[in-house]
Structure 1
């Protein structure tokens, strides 16, 4: 028997290369197939996407040095002076974070 459980989760992402930050909400389908194997399928805005934990990339610079945080961490950051938080949909928030130079 094929069974499925659906959960909704959101994650914050920060690129450690360019400082770009964003949040994304996912609908996660936890599926048990006919052989008893458990699999997760991630969906964003109705479209199936790869897991955010496998090979994540920055939306701005395509960098692969990302920090993944719990939801709300990027939204609670203050945008740079004179800037507003651009949005490209209700489940995505974008922020540019200023990271200290080492």
Structure 2
């Protein structure tokens, strides 16, 4: 009798190097232990949001917008934080402030 695999949800953020599209996807990472292996060899399998077993999303990610394969994996939430910061920067551009040279103590002006 094989024990049930344990499952851990893991969210990845992706950014396409071709079109700039960013997205996140959550996968269930299933861990299996082979009871017949001498050291109890463990393997893992990724299951996508639709319930399909897929290869590691870190190996062969494809952009859903343009089909590009120059996909970068980011920390989960990073793509959303970058989008939000870009939106805030566009809504509130920084004010220009003149730069004056620093004065050193003991140095004449």
Q: TM-score, normalised by structure 1?
A: 0.67
1:52-67 to 2 correspondences below 5 Å: 52-67=57-72
Q: Distance between the aligned counterparts of 1:37 and 1:61, measured in 2?
A: 38
Structure 1 stretches of 4+ with a deviation exceeding 4 A read none
User: Are 1:42 and 2:46 counterparts?
Assistant: yes
Higher-Rg structure is 2
Name the structure where helix makes up a greater proportion of residues. Answer: 2
Structure 1 segments unaligned to the other structure (5+ residues): 82-102
Name the structure where strand makes up a greater proportion of residues. Answer: 1
Asked if 2 retains the 8 angstrom alpha-carbon contact of 1:42 and 1:49, the reply is yes
User: Are 1:78 and 2:84 counterparts?
Assistant: yes
SS class of match (1:74): helix
SS class of match (1:78): helix
Q: TM-score, normalised by structure 2?
A: 0.63
